[in-house]
């Protein structure tokens, strides 16, 4: 990092953005919300461009955190930002750095003609619909209040998924003995179960009953582990439904060659988004 005390004065904000979360779900000290409720977004520096090209930093998630904290200094701890803000934040950093148009390479599935499509990143923020987290899921006299995952939760899940994939490769190893294979499968199954339960728990803000309001993650995890199958399924489905609003919609493309209409998935993967 630059130790020049004037380093903070080099750049000027290119744009200002509002957070889809409106600043909710940020723990105290992790966000400094300006009076205008709009966060200044600075263009990426050469140093930022180097940061998100550092493989270890990409793998452990610190590349995204460092670049976000550099480009949006109002976010003091990007590990704690809610997942619903991430697409909008990344899109706005790219807009501030390289402009609002992004080239998408595509191949028509009908005529197989390759084409270059220009996507307007400003439409991302417009298309995101944040669910109302003040509305609980009511199950009898119990009310379950939800919250979005933090970036830290998402990153931990990604790393665990990666370990899982590696485990699957080991299980499929033809040279492995049957006994070792069963042991590996059992370990993988336990890990997946733990991962699922943790992910559900991290999505729950509190559970309100006529007697008490429970916010302690360990009690919520205990409840998730021991609730009946029907309740578990309802909670899982509710979380999936709420997540849909912030999932990026696929891009609709019309082939200029044959007129075929098709959709192409669009992701904000750090490793490809800023290329």
Partner 1 sequence: MKLLTLDAPGIDEYVDKLENEVHDIKSEAMNLTWIMRGGIQYNDTLNLSKSERLIIANISKSNMETTKKTGLPFF
As measured in angstroms, the least distance from the Cβ of 172 to partner 1 is: 13
- Sequence-separated (6 or more) residues with CB below 8 Å from residue 207: 142, 143, 144, 145, 213, 214, 220, 223
The DSSP result for 210-270, as a single string, is: SS-EE--HHHHHHHHHHS-HHHHHHHHHHHHHHHHTTSPPPEEEE-TTT--EEEE-----H
4-43: contacts with partner 1 (CB under 8 A) = 4, 7, 10-11, 14, 42-43
Q: Among candidates 220, 196, 195, which has minimal Cα distance to 209? A: 220
Binding span for partner 1 by CB under 8 A among 24-32, 160-168, 209-217, 250-258:
160-168
Q: Can you tell me which of 58, 139, 167, 200 binds partner 1, judged by CB under 8 A? A: 58
As measured in angstroms, the least distance from the Cβ of 3 to partner 1 is: 8
162 binds partner 1 (CB under 8 A): yes
Binding span for partner 1 by CB under 8 A among 20-28, 49-57, 135-143, 248-256:
49-57
Instruction: Please give the Cα distance from 116 to 251 (Å, whole number).
Output: 13
The DSSP code for 150 is B
The DSSP code for 75 is B
274 phi/psi in degrees, rounded to 5? -100, 10
Q: Can you tell me which of 18, 23, 38, 53 binds partner 1, judged by CB under 8 A? A: 53
Q: For partner 1, which is the closer residue by CB, 57 or 137?
A: 57
Q: Which positions from 90 to 119 touch partner 1 by CB under 8 A, shown as an x/- string? A: -------xx---------------------
Residues that bind partner 1 (CB under 8 A): 2, 4, 7, 10-11, 14, 42-47, 49-50, 53-55, 58-59, 97-98, 158-159, 161-162, 165, 269-272
């Amino acid at each position: 990092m630059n130790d020049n005390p004037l380093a903070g004065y080099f750049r000027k904000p290119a744009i200002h953005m509002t957070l889809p979360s409106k600043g909710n779900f940020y723990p105290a000290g992790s966000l400094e919300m300006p009076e205008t409720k709009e966060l200044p977004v600075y263009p990426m520096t050469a140093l930022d461009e180097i940061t998100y090209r550092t493989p270890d930093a990409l793998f452990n998630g610190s590349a995204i955190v460092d670049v976000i904290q550099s480009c949006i200094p109002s976010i003091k701890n990007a590990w704690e930002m809610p997942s619903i803000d991430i697409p909008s934040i990344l899109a706005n950093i790219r807009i501030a750095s390289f402009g609002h148009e992004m080239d998408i390479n595509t191949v028509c599935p009908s005529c197989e003609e390759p084409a270059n499509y220009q996507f307007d990143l400003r439409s991302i923020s417009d298309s995101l619909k944040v669910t109302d987290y003040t509305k609980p899921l009511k199950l009898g006299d119990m009310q379950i209040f939800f919250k979005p995952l933090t970036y830290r939760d998402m990153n931990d899940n990604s790393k665990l998924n990666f370990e899982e994939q590696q485990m699957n490769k080991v299980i499929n190893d033809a040279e492995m003995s049957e006994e070792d294979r069963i042991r590996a499968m059992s370990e993988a199954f336990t890990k997946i179960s733990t991962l699922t339960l943790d992910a559900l728990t991290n999505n729950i803000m509190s559970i309100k009953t006529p007697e008490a309001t429970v916010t302690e993650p360990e009690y919520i995890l205990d409840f998730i582990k021991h609730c009946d199958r029907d309740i578990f399924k309802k909670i899982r489905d509710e979380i999936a439904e709420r997540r849909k609003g912030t999932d990026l919609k696929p891009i609709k493309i019309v082939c200029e060659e044959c007129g075929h209409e098709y959709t192409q998935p669009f992701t904000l993967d750090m490793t490809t988004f800023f290329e």
